[in-house]
Amino acid sequence: MPVKPPQRLPVVRNVAALRRAMAALRARGASVALVPTMGALHEGHLALVRQAKRRAKRVVVSIFVNPAQFAPNEDFGSYPRTWDADLKALADLKVDLVWAPTVKDMYPDGFATRIEPAGPAKVGLEDAFRPHFFGGVATVVAKLLLQVAPDFAMFGEKDFQQLKVVTAMARDLDIPARIVGVPTVREKDGLALSSRNAYLSADERKVAPTLHRVLTECAAHLKKGDPLVDVLAVGRAKIERMGFVLDYLEARNAGTLEPIMGPKDGPIRLLVAAKLGTTRLIDNIAV
């Protein structure tokens, strides 16, 4: 019996090789979906890959820890990197191509262009605490969308403001990829999967699901008609009592992310960011 060859997963590391690989993948007009990631893949990322496979004939996953979206005091150097496990997971899902540019390929000497998103990038929330972040994300995502030229690009609702910023950016720049949002994948106890969960100590891991629990409690109170300011005040106090340093817990218009006074101002999205020790966690849910 002939032995089945091991699953081959092509990995390309520079733009010229990517162009050649994409020309081959696109043969006979096959549709392409891109899943941008920073690696350290978990079931949340893999859910994006599975959705991508449903949308398109070919699936490209990019792995690039983007220095442009980290501030100097943030965790670029220590961000988890699990290359071998990532490739194995992607090979198991029969992804067609991994695009893993080097920093030099993404930002060659003399690189001098940056996208400055406004709209949902300038409504506070993440921008208030990470002012460099959405410029770095928009710039790298624009580059990825131009490099791969996919028909679809998958983004997690876990990073809800980022999903809005990327959607607006692609629309505003007439990038033809359709941006697709994918619901957040959670642990059984409600904690949203995140590469940064690896930083949590055993004790912190026990406390971490508080964020999702408070979000669901707040949503239930809002649905009952309790006043927004009171609901948020109670939610904030609970989060802080559990030992988090709260960046924000806010209710926003789910479409624009603009502040709201109450349910009359449109569908509500609750968004939270808080630090547990040195680990910063974010989450959000629909009301």
Q: With CB under 6 A as the contact rule, which of the stretches 43-51, 82-90, 95-103, 170-178 interacts with ligand AMP?
A: 43-51
- Nearby residues of 142 by Cβ (< 8 Å), 6 or more positions away: 115, 169, 173, 175
Supply the minimum distance, in Å, between the C-beta of residue 140 and ligand AMP: 10
**Is there binding between residue 11 and ligand AMP (CB under 6 A)?**
no
How many C-beta atoms lie closer than 10 Å to residue 88's C-beta? 14
Supply the minimum distance, in Å, between the C-beta of residue 193 and ligand AMP: 4
**Is there binding between residue 64 and ligand AMP (CB under 6 A)?**
no
**Is there binding between residue 269 and ligand AMP (CB under 6 A)?**
no
* Residue of the chain from 86, 126, 127, 159 that contacts ligand AMP (CB under 6 A): 159
Q: List C-alpha distances in Å: 203 to 148, 239, 242.
A: 42, 15, 11
How many C-beta atoms lie closer than 10 Å to residue 6's C-beta? 7
With contact defined as beta carbons under 8 Å apart, do 276 and 200 qualify? yes
**For ligand AMP, the closer CB: 69 or 250:** 69
Supply the minimum distance, in Å, between the C-beta of residue 200 and ligand AMP: 14
Supply the minimum distance, in Å, between the C-beta of residue 276 and ligand AMP: 17
Q: Which of residues 118-147 bind ligand AMP (CB under 6 A)?
A: none
Supply the minimum distance, in Å, between the C-beta of residue 265 and ligand AMP: 26
- Nearby residues of 64 by Cβ (< 8 Å), 6 or more positions away: 36, 37, 38, 39, 99, 100, 101, 106, 140, 144
Q: With CB under 6 A as the contact rule, which of the stretches 37-45, 94-102, 201-209, 211-219 interacts with ligand AMP?
A: 37-45
**Is there binding between residue 38 and ligand AMP (CB under 6 A)?**
yes
Rounded to whole angstroms, the Cα distance separating 5 from 93 reads 16
In 189-255, where does DSSP find H-type helix? 202-207, 210-224, 228-241
Give yes or no: 45 in active site. Answer: yes
With contact defined as beta carbons under 8 Å apart, do 154 and 182 qualify? yes
Site string for ligand AMP, 161-200 (x = CB under 6 A): ---------------------x-xx------xxxx-----
Backbone region of residue 96 per phi and psi (left: phi > 0; alpha: psi in -120 to 50; beta: other values): alpha
Catalytic residue among 45, 132, 212, 221: 45
Q: Which single residue is written with the structure tokens 């390929």?
A: 105
Q: Which residues bind ligand AMP (CB under 6 A)?
A: 37-38, 44-45, 47-48, 155-156, 158-159, 182, 184-185, 192-195
